[in-house]
Amino acid sequence: MHDSHNIEFACRTWSLRATDLNQGIVYGQETDETRMHPLLATRFDYDAVFGTVLNRMVIQAVCGHPLTVYGAGHQIRGMLDIRDTVECIRLAVEHPAEPGEFRVFNQFTEEFSVRAIAELIRDAYPGPVRIANIDNPRIEAADHYYHAAHSRLIDLGLEPHLLSDTLIGSLFAIADRYKGRADPSLFRPSVQWTATSNRVGPGGVATHAA
């Protein structure tokens, strides 16, 4: 937010133009371009720090691990397909703000609760999957109002790829292909927001110092 305020101030002061993209949770691993060659493959983060909740639960299901839901899972999250992430940036660049204008685009296409995401993964996976509610390591309300507007990119021409069993199935296939590289120790939350210190563990991922 401090960055946004500084950018808005610069726009007013020097007639700059800026678009602030408030990006939701990105899921998926492939675009039309990355499918052209294996060396173009994108990252597939699944840890509790950099991984997205949907990616994490996909690989948990593939590895036979319970899907970890923080608290009751009522937290609402805005989400979008990785292909739409790229498209949103293109649309923002090709339709710039006016001189002196600072604008904010909420970059997501759908809203889901964390519990609903877990149930989607469980129902789509071709095998037994268990959902495990664990203590929430974050400081956030268990229930909260969330209904952010996200129409401005649609108005510019975004045609969203909405979450479906077909896409989730493709993620299962990718995760299964590389599950031998997965580190199950990274599935569970490693940073406790109420802790005064967290140490860095394997792979540069922070772990709570008990």
pLDDT, one tens digit per residue, over 74-99 is 999 899 999 999 999 999 999 999 99
Residue 75 CB neighbour total at 10 angstroms: 21
Indicate whether 13 belongs to any domain. no
**Model confidence, pTM:** 0.83
Indicate whether 102 belongs to any domain. yes
**pLDDT mean across residues, the chain:** 88
- Note down the domain range covering 171: 22-188
Indicate whether 136 belongs to any domain. yes
The CATH number given to whatever domain includes residue 172 is 3.90.25.10
Q: Is 43 helix (H, G, I), strand (E, B) or coil?
A: coil
Domain count of the chain?
A: 1
Residue 66 host element (H or E): none
Indicate whether 98 belongs to any domain. yes
CA 172 to chain centre: 17
Indicate whether 200 belongs to any domain. no
- pLDDT tens string 187-210: 988 888 887 766 666 555 555 443
